[in-house]
């Protein structure tokens, strides 16, 4: 009887433990493991390992994954995601003081220069391959200067960047990156509480939204969310009373519809997304699908409002929409 009781207790502990490790992100369940090497106020370094698969061509078992590096401070904002073999999937290096951004999409490099008081406000250039390593060094040293612009090609730069982006959208790179971000989020890391994670979360959110829209996977994405939402509260994994926000925290629940609120408590009615009639404007996510890893909840944020406006006016593949540099949950965002 003692052995049976111990076994029952072990099973109970296992069940409780499993509930506390429920995923915080759509599609994140049992997809791999993540090792976080660095996480502080300015840097994040993590490696994600996908479940091994058998490669019939080489007759070998291959482990897929990505290595992620982000850094955010007053002088730079950079994100790099590369495969385990070192191949860069996507990376950008933003120099806010020079208003310049270097973007690398699967080996193709582009430079963006912002002109706040001129039209157009953003100039795009394609970097010839012969200058690719040189421009990487220039941005890593934070020494970009307008004298380098004549080395670049402005003709068809936007179309080339969009084409490279579209190629990535239809491949398997974005599901892999999304799984990596999901695994990081399952460690309780979100963009609002962890500044170096914010540009990563915001970028992958936009990538995933674009992929779902392009491939017509909205229904699939919604189904995943319904599975996640059945746990009611994505933060503590404990069932909560509908009036809990109002009674205990002075805040309020936005909606009883989990597709809108996802169980989040918001500060006021104004910070609650209004629903599908306006695609939950101001809530970070695809339509009314909340990506709570970006700002930590499913409420309306000034940064998300500005980003939604940017995407509506300029298109979903526009530079400021797809790569929201210097994004902040609480500050207005402009392209």
Q: Are residues 137 and 94 part of one domain? A: yes
Q: pTM value? A: 0.77
Identify the pLDDT of residue 258. 46
Q: Are residues 205 and 162 part of one domain? A: no
Identify the pLDDT of residue 20. 30
Which of 199-213, 243-257, 299-313 is the least confident region?
243-257
Q: Mean pLDDT over all residues of the chain?
A: 77
Identify the pLDDT of residue 222. 44
Say yes or no to pLDDT of 159 above 70. yes
Q: Are residues 148 and 195 part of one domain? A: no
More confident residue, 20 or 80: 80
Identify the pLDDT of residue 278. 64
Q: Are residues 109 and 234 part of one domain? A: no
Which of 170, 201, 235 lies at the terminal end of a domain, its last residue? 170
- The answer to whether the CB of 200 falls within 8 A of the CB of 44 is yes
Calpha distance 225→176 (Å, rounded): 18
Say yes or no to pLDDT of 127 above 60. yes
Mean pLDDT, residues 213-242 taken together:
42
Calpha distance 208→169 (Å, rounded): 8
Identify the pLDDT of residue 206. 85
Residue 65 vs residues 30, 125, 190, 192, 244: alpha-carbon distances, Å: 14, 31, 21, 25, 40
* φ/ψ of residue 55, rounded to 5: -95, 110
Q: Is residue 74 part of a domain?
A: yes
| Number of Cα atoms under 13 Å in the Cβ half of residue 109 | 19
Calpha distance 105→54 (Å, rounded): 27
Which of 170, 197, 224 lies at the terminal end of a domain, its last residue? 170
Cβ neighbours, 10 Å, residue 179: 24
Mean pLDDT, residues 13-27 taken together:
36
Calpha distance 109→70 (Å, rounded): 18
pLDDT of 66-77, one tens digit each? 999 999 999 999
More confident residue, 288 or 311: 311
Identify the pLDDT of residue 55. 62
Which of 33-42, 77-86, 168-177, 191-200 is the least confident region?
168-177
Q: Are residues 156 and 50 part of one domain? A: yes
Say yes or no to pLDDT of 11 above 60. no
Which of 52-56, 190-194, 279-283 is the least confident region?
52-56
Q: Is residue 309 part of a domain?
A: yes
Calpha distance 297→273 (Å, rounded): 11
Identify the burial level of 313 via C-beta atoms within 10 angstroms of its C-beta, where 0-12 means exposed, 13-18 middle and 19 or more buried: exposed
The answer for 298, left when phi > 0, alpha when psi is -120 to 50, beta otherwise, is alpha
Q: Which domain holds residue 222?
A: 189-322
- The answer to whether the CB of 112 falls within 8 A of the CB of 103 is yes
Mean pLDDT, residues 13-19 taken together:
35
Mean pLDDT, residues 275-294 taken together:
75
Reading the block at residue 118, the tokens are 């001129």
Q: At what angle do helices 173-185 and 157-170 cross, to 10 degrees?
A: 70
Q: Is 280 helix (H, G, I), strand (E, B) or coil?
A: coil
- The answer to whether the CB of 205 falls within 8 A of the CB of 8 is no
Which of 109, 140, 170 lies at the terminal end of a domain, its last residue? 170
- The answer to whether the CB of 334 falls within 8 A of the CB of 99 is no
pLDDT of 185-206, one tens digit each? 888 898 989 999 999 999 998 8
Give the DSSP letter of residue 153: B
Grade residue 253 by pLDDT with cuts at 50, 70 and 90: low
Mean pLDDT, residues 128-153 taken together:
92
Q: Is the peptide bond before 40 cis (omega within 30 degrees of 0)?
A: no
Calpha distance 25→48 (Å, rounded): 15
Q: Are residues 166 and 274 part of one domain? A: no
More confident residue, 248 or 195: 195
């Amino acid at each position: 009887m003692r052995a049976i009781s111990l076994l029952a207790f072990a099973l109970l502990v296992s069940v409780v433990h499993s509930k506390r490790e429920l995923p915080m992100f759509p599609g994140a369940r049992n997809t791999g493991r993540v090792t976080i090497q660095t996480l502080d106020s300015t840097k994040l370094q993590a490696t994600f390992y996908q479940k091994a698969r058998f490669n019939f061509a080489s007759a070998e078992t291959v482990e897929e994954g990505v290595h992620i590096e982000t850094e955010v401070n007053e002088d730079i904002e950079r994100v790099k995601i590369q495969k385990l073999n070192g191949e860069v999937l996507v990376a950008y290096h933003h120099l806010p003081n020079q208003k310049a951004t270097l973007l690398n999409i699967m080996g193709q490099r582009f430079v963006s220069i912002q002109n706040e008081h001129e039209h157009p406000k953003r100039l795009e250039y394609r970097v010839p391959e012969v200058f690719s390593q040189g421009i990487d060094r220039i941005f890593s040293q934070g020494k970009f200067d307008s004298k380098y612009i004549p080395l670049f090609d402005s003709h068809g730069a936007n179309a080339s960047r969009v084409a490279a982006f579209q190629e990535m959208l239809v491949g398997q790179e974005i599901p892999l990156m999304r799984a990596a971000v999901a695994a990081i989020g399952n460690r309780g890391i979100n963009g609002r509480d962890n500044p170096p994670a914010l540009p990563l979360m915001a970028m992958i959110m936009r990538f995933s939204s674009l992929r779902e829209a392009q491939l017509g996977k909205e229904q699939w994405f919604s189904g995943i969310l319904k599975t996640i939402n059945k746990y009611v509260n994505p933060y503590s994994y404990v069932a909560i009373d509908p009036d809990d926000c109002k009674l205990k925290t002075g805040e309020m629940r936005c909606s009883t519809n989990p597709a809108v609120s996802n169980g989040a408590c918001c500060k006021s009615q104004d910070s609650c997304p209004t629903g599908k009639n306006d695609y939950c404007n101001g809530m970070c996510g695809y339509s009314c699908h909340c990506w709570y890893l970006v700002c930590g909840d499913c409420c309306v944020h000034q940064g998300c409002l500005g980003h939604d406006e940017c995407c509506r006016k300029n298109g979903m593949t526009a530079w400021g929409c797809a790569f929201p540099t210097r994004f902040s949950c609480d500050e207005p965002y402009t392209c």
